[in-house]
């Protein structure tokens, strides 16, 4: 598990720890870890040209002390000083180790022709110490111009604590920001490193332990790793039968959207569900049985559709491709009236946004799985762009407002549940931004719910497995939703 804490929490823990340690000890620990990571990226430190981008705070101080260590190992180190002040101790240490400092012009328009620009262009490695957790808002000038030069340079970039220009708490990026190949983060991860667009700027995230652990409370965000998912996955035993592995009720797809039913049922089947009890219109039942003959399918009686919904299920998946007509709404209400956990996706989310009490007043578990547009509909005065800009706060707000578990799909899938840390999924990929992949995800998570996983864990594990399956299915060419079927068992096997 990778844990992340909000900046205010990090600050508090750091001051508690600093009070017990000699002055500067934490910065030295951070700099040692940072220098080691830089050496790994460089492979050969001796003779390498390392350019530090140094802002006026302690983030720049970390870069300067790490640069000092690299200079002592034979690197040629230049520090580009950006801003009105510099960490004096760090600058002095660098100079005494043979490094040089170069002031960046104060005016953004002069940055391009400056000595600093020439150094950045000729570097073998850039170290981004412009701003860390002390940053607020988008990068100001001339930091922004320097970040743009770094982006245009060929050298790999190692970011100090977090890439400058991303919001540490939310991952929001407002204007130009550094794109790092490696981010070396200290003490704990910062939430913005796990959530897009920030996560997309961080590259490979390396953690340096500076001894903060004992001072930290529980995390505000978790990022599951393969071993965490392995612990969550249901493992069939000798005593397992189809009932113990879980029976999933599925009210998905319609005459108009038959594929949604085939995809969602397939997602559940290939995740190892014990049994799917499917209910739908006659034409869809035929399609589902053609593709997945192991489904126990029943045709809804047009005279009494609610009466013909299957009973004896451990969990429900409702909504994908089901439509918004009054019968689909009545069906959703009937399913939500059962005591089983319910995953409401797609059209079912739209119905819930019009009738929030359906979920708010429910005592059994509900999991909503909106994309950004659907989440915007769930929240008052919220546009899709607001959700995309701050995925973490948006999903947490929806979970609180509806008193249920919410999984926000998209560039970083995030799961929120009241009273628990949010979970960010690390396996997401643009490969999944195609029609029908959400239907498969509903089936995958439904299989986990039916096997008895709690909604937060089922959602997080489902997102992880689904993302991994997309990566496995991708062999250089584009993939479509049905390519996930064969990749799901491979992803499950890889996780173990």
Ligand X SMILES: NC(=O)C1=CN([C@@H]2O[C@H](COP(=O)(O)OP(=O)(O)OC[C@H]3O[C@@H](n4cnc5c(N)ncnc54)[C@H](O)[C@@H]3O)[C@@H](O)[C@H]2O)[C@@H](O)CC1
Q: Does residue 167 interact with ligand X by CB under 6 A?
A: no
Backbone angles phi, psi at 478, to 5 degrees: -65, 155
Q: How many CA atoms lie within 13 A of 109 on its CB side?
A: 0
Q: Considering the complex, state which of residue 119 and residue 128 has its C-beta at the smaller distance from K ion.
A: 128
What does the DSSP 8-state code read for residue 238?
T
Distance, in Å, from the CA atom of 386 to the CA atom of 391, rounded to the nearest integer, reads 8
The CB density around residue 256, as the number of other CB atoms within 10 Å, is 12
Q: Does residue 172 interact with ligand X by CB under 6 A?
A: no
- In terms of C-beta density within 10 A (0-12 exposed, 13-18 middle, 19 or more buried), how is residue 364 classed? middle
Q: Is 132 annotated among the ligand-binding residues?
A: yes
Q: Is 411 annotated among the ligand-binding residues?
A: yes
Q: Considering the complex, state which of residue 20 and residue 43 has its C-beta at the smaller distance from ligand X.
A: 20
Of the listed pieces 50-58, 90-98, 196-204, 363-371, which binds ligand X according to CB under 6 A?
50-58
Q: Considering the complex, state which of residue 111 and residue 453 has its C-beta at the smaller distance from K ion.
A: 111
Tokens at 480, concatenated:
């479509």
Which residues lie closer than 8 Å to 359 by C-beta, 6 or more apart? Answer: 336, 344, 352, 366, 368, 402, 403, 404
Q: Which does 128 bind (CB under 5 to 8 A by kind): ligand X, K ion, none?
A: K ion
Q: Is 61 annotated among the ligand-binding residues?
A: yes
Please say whether the dihedral angle defined by the alpha carbons of residues 425, 428, 433 and 436, taken in this order, is positive or negative. negative
Distance, in Å, from the CA atom of 489 to the CA atom of 204, rounded to the nearest integer, reads 27
The CB density around residue 361, as the number of other CB atoms within 10 Å, is 9
Compute how many residues bind K ion; rule: CB under 5 A: 5
Among 96, 136, 308, 480, binds ligand X (CB under 6 A): 136
Contact 288, 261 (CB under 8 A): yes
Q: Which does 348 bind (CB under 5 to 8 A by kind): ligand X, K ion, none?
A: none
The interface mask with K ion, positions 126-155, x = CB under 5 A, is --x---x-----------------------
Q: Which residues bind K ion (CB under 5 A)?
A: 128, 132, 159-160, 164
Annotated binding residues for AMP, as ranges? 409-413, 438
Annotated binding residues for K(+), as ranges? 59, 128, 164
Annotated binding residues, as ranges? 58-62, 128, 132-138, 161, 164, 260, 321, 371, 409-413, 438-439
Annotated binding residues for (6S)-NADPHX, as ranges? 58-62, 132-138, 161, 260, 321, 371, 439
Q: Which residues bind ligand X (CB under 6 A)?
A: 14, 18, 26-27, 30, 55-60, 62, 83, 131-137, 139-140, 143, 160-161, 186, 210
């Amino acid at each position: 598990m990778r844990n992340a804490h909000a900046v205010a929490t990090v600050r508090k823990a750091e001051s508690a720890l600093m009070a017990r340690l000699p002055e500067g000890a934490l910065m030295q620990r951070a700099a040692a870890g940072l220098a080691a990571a830089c050496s790994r990226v460089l492979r050969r430190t001796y003779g390498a040209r390392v350019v530090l981008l140094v802002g006026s705070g302690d983030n720049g101080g970390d870069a300067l002390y790490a640069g000092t260590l690299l200079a002592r190992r034979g690197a040629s180190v230049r520090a580009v000083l950006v801003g009105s002040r510099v960490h004096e101790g760090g600058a002095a240490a660098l100079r005494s180790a043979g490094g040089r400092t170069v002031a960046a012009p104060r005016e953004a328009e002069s940055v391009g022709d400056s000595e600093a620009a020439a150094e950045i262009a000729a570097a073998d490695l850039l170290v981004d110490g412009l701003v860390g957790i002390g940053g607020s808002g988008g990068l100001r000038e001339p930091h922004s111009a320097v970040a743009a030069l770094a982006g245009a340079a060929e050298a790999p970039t190692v970011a100090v604590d977090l890439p400058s220009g991303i919001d540490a708490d939310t991952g929001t990026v407002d204007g130009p920001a550094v794109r790092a190949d490696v981010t070396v983060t200290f003490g704990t991860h910062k939430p913005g490193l796990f959530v897009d667009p920030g996560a997309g700027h961080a590259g490979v995230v390396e953690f340096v332990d500076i001894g903060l652990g004992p001072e930290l409370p529980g995390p505000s965000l978790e990022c599951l790793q393969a071993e965490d998912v392995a612990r969550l996955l249901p493992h069939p035993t000798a005593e397992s039968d189809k009932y113990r592995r879980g029976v999933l009720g599925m009210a998905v797809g319609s005459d108009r959207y038959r594929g949604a039913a085939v995809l969602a049922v397939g997602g559940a089947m290939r995740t190892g569900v014990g049994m799917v009890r499917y209910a739908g219109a006659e034409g869809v039942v035929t399609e589902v049985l053609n593709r997945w003959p192991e489904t126990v399918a029943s045709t809804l009686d047009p005279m009494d559709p609610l009466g013909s919904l299957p009973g004896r299920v451990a969990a429900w998946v409702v909504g994908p491709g089901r439509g918004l007509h009054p019968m689909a709404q009545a069906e959703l209400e009937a399913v939500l009236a059962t005591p089983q956990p319910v995953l409401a996706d797609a059209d079912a989310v739209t119905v819930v946004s019009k009738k929030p009490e359906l979920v708010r007043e429910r005592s059994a578990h509900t999991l909503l799985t909106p994309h950004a547009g659907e989440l915007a509909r769930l929240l008052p005065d919220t546009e899709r762009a607001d959700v995309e800009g701050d995925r973490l706060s948006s999903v947490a707000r929806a979970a609180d407002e509806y008193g249920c578990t919410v999984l926000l799909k998209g560039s970083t899938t995030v799961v929120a549940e009241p009273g628990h840390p949010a979970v960010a999924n690390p396996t997401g990929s643009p490969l999944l931004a195609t029609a029908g992949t959400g239907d498969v995800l509903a089936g995958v998570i439904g299989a986990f719910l039916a096997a008895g996983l709690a909604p937060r864990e089922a959602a997080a594990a489902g997102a992880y497995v689904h993302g991994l399956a997309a990566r496995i299915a991708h062999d250089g060419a584009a993939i479509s939703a049905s390519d996930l079927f064969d990749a799901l068992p491979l992803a499950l096997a890889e996780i173990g």
